[in-house]
Structure 1
Amino acid sequence: MTTRVFLVSAAIGEALREARFDDGSPLDASGLRAARTAADAGAVPAGGRVSVSPTVRCRQTAVALGLEGGSEATELAPLDVGRWRGATLAEVSAQEPEAVARWLGDPTSAPHDGESVRAFCDRVGGYLDLAAEHDGRTVAVVEPEVVRALVVRVLGAPESAFWRVDVPPLTVTELSGRAGRWNLRTGRPLA
């Protein structure tokens, strides 16, 4: 049984543009426009099932791409950054430089009282076990860090590699295979 999972990174919004930890902000006008353009161009992967990360940005991206009716996938929720939510990385770095350095250097660290990168990769990696139970295609609209975590898990890379994976908005990362053995195809733009 072969499964294909198409991870579509959400369109750009104000939080991403400002390098701010997600605070539930919506897509901005350019993000909405880009997603609608991709949908109009027929660039959205066809899938039997649709999963959507439970963020405003991902839900709005899914709708703009014509992927309404997808199920909310709580296991694909973004990294919980605890008390840093809504702040920019620059603000947090100025206020808590040692904590940020520890967080970026140690995947088991969670100085923000949220989720460590290791725990996040483990949680999100569980989604692949669920996806492997279904033959066929799934399209999942997710935040960039979800794609990063799944790439780390699929490649068997250490969690420290999480920070080395760039995921632009509205790109598709394809995973194909089955539980325990996945192939990776990265970064195809939707537009």
Structure 2
Amino acid sequence: MTSRVLLVSAATSASLRQARFDDGGSIDDGGAARARAAAGGLPPAARARTSPGLRCRETAAALGLDGVAALAVPELAGLDVGRWRGRTLDEVGAAEPEAVGRWLTDPDCAPHGGESVRDLCARVGRWLVDTQALEGRTLAVVEPEVVRAAVVDALGLPATVFWRLDVPPLSMTELSGRAGRWNLRLGRPPAAPEAE
């Protein structure tokens, strides 16, 4: 049995445009419009999941997934950045330059009092293990860092590459797995898939 996980990164928000650590805000009008336009290009899925954050839930609704009961899953929550939440990277970098430097280079570091990158990768990896036991495609609308964590964990990459993975808004990343092994499918266009 092959399991497929299609990760769709959340639409744009004011926080994203300002390089602000997630503050729980809504997607912006442009992001919502792009998500509605992409709705018809998603492949069929057996189930839909989202990160619990507002931005992901709103993106899922704009993609038309609210009708298929997109369930918010705690394991898919974005990276907990503790006291940095809601602040811009520039603000934090000016106030705590050494802490930001350590955080961006050491995946075990969590100077903000939240979660380390390695912990995020492990948390998302546990969700992938559970999901691999499910037949059919799981479509999950998640924060970009959850996509990074899934790719790092699924491919067995060192956690140090986490920050080198770019995940644009509304991009799709597909993992297919069987027998405890995942493959990454790159370059999926937002259009109906061919017969699989």
Q: TM-score, normalised by structure 1?
A: 0.96
Report the secondary structure of 1:173's partner residue: strand
Work out whether 1:16 is the aligned partner of 2:16: yes
User: Could you tell me which residue of structure 2 aligns to residue 125 of structure 1?
Assistant: 125
Post-superposition offset of 1:63: 0.4
Work out whether 1:29 is the aligned partner of 2:29: yes
User: Could you tell me which residue of structure 2 aligns to residue 47 of structure 1?
Assistant: 45
Report the secondary structure of 1:188's partner residue: coil
- 1:38-65: CA deviation from partner (whole Å, max 9, x where unpaired): 11xx211210111111011100000000
Q: CA–CA distance in 2 between the matches of 1:178 and 1:100?
A: 38
User: Could you tell me which residue of structure 1 aligns to residue 60 of structure 2?
Assistant: 62
Give the RMSD, CA atoms, in angstroms. Answer: 1.2
User: Could you tell me which residue of structure 2 aligns to residue 95 of structure 1?
Assistant: 95
Q: Aligned letter for 2:120?
A: F
User: Could you tell me which residue of structure 1 aligns to residue 38 of structure 2?
Assistant: 38
Q: Aligned letter for 2:42?
A: V
Instruction: Specify whether residues 91 and 187 from structure 1 end up closer, same or farther in structure 2 by C-alpha distance, changes over 3 A only.
Output: farther
Post-superposition offset of 1:97: 0.1
Q: CA–CA distance in 2 between the matches of 1:187 and 1:31?
A: 21
Report the secondary structure of 2:126's partner residue: helix
> Structure 2: which 5+ runs fail to align?
192-196
Report the secondary structure of 2:83's partner residue: helix
- 1:73-97: CA deviation from partner (whole Å, max 9, x where unpaired): 1100000000000001011000000
Q: CA–CA distance in 2 between the matches of 1:107 and 1:45?
A: 34
- 1:116-167: CA deviation from partner (whole Å, max 9, x where unpaired): 0011110111111110111111100000000000111122111000000000
Q: Matches of residues 41-190 of structure 1 in structure 2 within 5 Å?
A: 42-68=40-66, 69-178=69-178, 180-188=180-188, 190=190
Q: Aligned letter for 1:45?
A: P
> Structure 1: which 5+ runs fail to align?
none
Q: Which moved more, 1:111-120 or 1:177-186?
A: 177-186
Q: CA–CA distance in 2 between the matches of 1:189 and 1:85?
A: 33
